[in-house]
Amino acid sequence: MSHYYRLVVSCPDRVGIVSRVSGFIAGHGGSITEASQHSDLETGRFFMRYEILADSIGMPPEALREAFTPIATEFEMTWALTDTRQRPRVVLMVSKESHCLVDLLYRWTAGELDCEIAAVISNHEAMRGLVEWHGTAYHHVPVPADDKQAAFDEVERLVEEARADCIVLARYMQILPPALCERYAGRVINIHHSFLPSFAGAKPYHQAYERGVKLIGATCHYVTAELDAGPIIEQDIHRVSHCHTPDDLVRFGRDVEKAVLARGLRWHLEDRVLIHGNKTVVFA
């Protein structure tokens, strides 16, 4: 498998950014295999993602970061250079519904998700057999209504122990405390079983049924302290009609949820998602 460096940049828009960065890479013999750019005309912000064939550039990532730093400083860049040999470590969190977890574990074992699933954390025991069959550590952390803080202290300890780069709420039906959201800002991904911002909160498919919608959907987004309000990564929809019951909507929704979550996670792992305020730029 080819080895790449990924350069991701956000900075004030101005003339010469692409030329300077591309010239820097070419000057070190680097081969750019994928390039994406976007200028936000309203905010004057520029976004860039380059994939560089690592073997072509002839230096380790630490040296490349050091060499690029003067350009980043000159253009006031928020930037990151990642090495695809360093596979991100992911912790999955789940409650009782298994469809998203099963789908992610399948895609991971099939090689579709370039990461290490370091652990699964659940507030129920129901998924232990499934997870351990995949050779992954399973941690049962009940979340009692009268002592949620202690439970989330344990969750945070397990996440630290797993050295997680990313947390995925694969239908985890508990609200993470604000401190945990802030500590892992931009690294906690959730699937909401609705087309946000419509029908936030509990039982969105039943809310949609009562409203008589003709389209249902699912939303993959980053988690923030405000419930179901974080930057959106991906969404998709499924058409419904007056013939369908709430159970039908839930069934259709499961298929949309797992596909949307898988796409959102894959794009995050591939450094294709750049957060800009409460929005995202997605180079998919």
Return per-residue pLDDT of the chain as tens, 284 residues. Answer: 679 999 999 999 999 999 999 999 999 999 999 999 999 999 999 999 999 999 999 899 999 999 999 999 999 999 999 999 999 999 999 999 999 999 999 999 999 999 999 999 999 999 999 999 999 999 999 999 998 999 999 999 999 999 999 999 999 999 999 999 999 999 999 998 766 556 666 677 677 777 787 888 899 999 999 888 899 999 999 898 888 888 888 898 899 999 999 999 999 999 999 999 999 999 99
Residue reference for tokens 């941690």:
139
What pTM was estimated for this model as a whole?
Answer: 0.93
Residue reference for tokens 């294709």:
272
In this predicted structure, what is the pLDDT of residue 205?
Answer: 66
Residue reference for tokens 């930057």:
231
Rounded Cα gap, residues 260 and 252, in angstroms: 13
Q: Which CATH superfamily hosts domain 4-83?
A: ACT domain (3.30.70.260)
Rounded Cα gap, residues 194 and 259, in angstroms: 13
Asked whether this chain's domains 4-83 and 89-282 adopt the same fold, the reply is no
Angle between helix 246-269 and helix 204-211 axes, rounded to 10 deg: 130
Q: Respond yes or no: is residue 114 known to be catalytic.
A: no
Residue 175 is classified by DSSP as P
In this predicted structure, what is the pLDDT of residue 217?
Answer: 85
In this predicted structure, what is the pLDDT of residue 246?
Answer: 83
Assigned CATH for 89-282? 3.40.50.170
Domains of the chain by residue range: 4-83, 89-282
Rounded Cα gap, residues 191 and 268, in angstroms: 14
Q: What is the largest CA-CA distance in the chain?
A: 63
Please report, for residues 61, 197, 203, 262, the alpha-carbon distance to residue 249 in angstroms, rounded to integers and kept in the order given: 48, 18, 11, 20
Determine phi and psi for 155, rounding to 5 degrees. Answer: -60, -45
Distance of CA 97 to the CA centre of its chain: 20
Annotated catalytic residue: which of 40, 228, 248, 255?
A: 228
In this predicted structure, what is the pLDDT of residue 247?
Answer: 87
